[in-house]
Amino acid sequence: MSTPSTVRTIALCFVVALLEGLDLQATGIAAPHLIREFNLSPAALGWAFTAGLVGLLPGALAGGWLADRLGRRRVLIAAVSLFGLFSLLTANSASYTQLLIARLVTGLGMGAALPILIALSSEVASRDSRNMAVSLTYCGVPLGGACAALIGMFAPVGEWRLVFYVGGIAPLLIAGLLMLWLPESRPLVSRPLTLSQSTNVVLGRQQSRSTLLLWCSCFCTLMILYMLLNWLPTLLAGRELSRLDSSFVQVLFNLGGVAGVLVAGRLMDRQRSLLAVAMVYPGMLLALAALGYLKQLHLLYVAGALAGACAVGGQLILYALAPRLYPDDVRATGVGVAVAVGRLGSMSGPLLAGQILAAGAGVGGLLLATSTLLVLAAASVAMVLRQDSRVNEGEPC
């Protein structure tokens, strides 16, 4: 992973992931201001969160497949340009309808970018460092979230548009750098697979069981993660934390996510993937309970960092595992479909949390809902890892 071309590719993928992480959390950061600006109910705010996530689903499906056919580089540049432009349009929304449309199309661009970033970083690294390469790329997402939280912390009161301006201008600048410096990861095949052929490979006899289990874990894990990403600022505001303290918990959530990503990637490269699963999923439940019931501020800081480490670390395990399951000519497609299924969970999470909170179930209701999802996610990914270890020389538990 030390050649100049490899380092440059991973660095560029990291920057794109950072910008995606910033935009993914921008709506959550702006949420308290959006409620006042557009006079939103909790249910309407849930749809504002969900609009961007709805775009992520077809974006991931189309982005992965187009990247396998047209090339990773070309499709990534188009995706980054798209989400930068519509983030700028989000900042200039004059109505709730315009806000929803802008977030929807922003999501299309971000959805297309993520599976390409994962496939690129996995392909350019050596076999014994692929998981760490994906980790280094993906840790840009929580760092971008931390940047969004810092913008929210230090922006002038009421200036909710600033985070969207940053999330719009920077991707357009980075798209130019991608044109100059990003190489194609592999030569294009002369006769690329059709969508039907790609689907048959992804769901073929050898991959079907692992694919379905991976999808199950992606759905449940991202459902929980996006409950946290979107509702954490509002929940913390309800705990009567100051704006500064609430923003700091979000910063720690994202910095914890960076640590969780790097630790999980290191454990996977050292053939300890099941240990990573055993640490991440119980830790997620513990952190959620702590955020819901602890009252001491310093303990809330610790709980926020732990929640980020476990939730984002769990997502990294899935994204590092996905490229290992598929051959080169459908790798981005396979990763894209897994990401898309996860996006279904990410769309469902904020809506489910909104309904639970609107019904008055509070944090206890959220914990009850997430505990079942955590068990299902952990069991599914553990079964995929066991099957993958038998195929790839055996991996210790």
Decide if 96 is inside a domain. Answer: yes
**Closest by CA position to 110, among listed 89, 90, 81:** 81
Q: Give the model's pLDDT for residue 229.
A: 67
- Does 184 fall in a domain? no
Q: Which two tokens stand for residue 141?
A: 């997402």
Spatial CA neighbour of 246 closest among 41, 28, 21: 28
Q: How confident is the model at residue 176 (pLDDT cuts 50, 70, 90)?
A: very high
In a domain, residue 191? The reply is: no
Express each pLDDT in 321-341 by its tens digit: 999 888 888 888 899 999 999
| Tally of structural domains, the chain | 1
Higher pLDDT, 52 or 314: 314
- CATH number, domain of 69, equals 1.20.1250.20
Which pTM value belongs to this model? 0.83
Residue 291 lies in a domain: yes
Domain assignment of residue 190, yes or no:
no
DSSP H helices in 239-361: 243-269, 273-293, 297-321, 331-358
DSSP letter for each residue of 143-173: HHHHHHHHHHHHSPTT-TTHHHHHHHHHHHH
98, 102, 108, 109 alpha-carbon torsion, rounded to 10°:
160
Q: What is the residue-averaged pLDDT of the chain? A: 86
Residue 256 structural domain: 4-179+203-391
pLDDT in tens, 87-114: 999 999 999 999 999 999 999 999 999 9
**Per-residue pLDDT reduced to its tens digit, 245-298:** 877 888 898 899 999 999 999 999 888 999 999 999 999 888 878 877 777 888
pLDDT (tens digit per residue) in 27-72: 888 888 888 889 988 778 878 887 887 898 899 999 999 998 888 9
Residue 395: pLDDT band (50, 70, 90) is: very low
189 lies in some domain: no
User: What CA–CA distances, in Å, run from 338 to 53, 183, 209?
Assistant: 15, 25, 13
Does 68 reside within a domain? yes
Q: What is the mean pLDDT of residues 208-214?
A: 91
Question: According to the model, what pLDDT value does residue 118 have?
Answer: 93
In a domain, 384, yes or no: yes
Write down the pLDDT at residue 396.
Answer: 46
The predicted structure's pLDDT at residue 191? 61
Lowest-confidence pick of 19-28, 92-101, 108-117, 180-189: 180-189
How is 85-145 classified by DSSP, letter by letter?
HHHHHHHT--SHHHHHHHHHHHHHHHHHHHHHHHHHHHHHS-GGGHHHHHHHHHTHHHHHH
Q: What is the pLDDT of residues 339-392, one digit of tens each?
A: 999 988 877 887 787 787 777 776 667 777 778 889 999 999 999 998 876 655
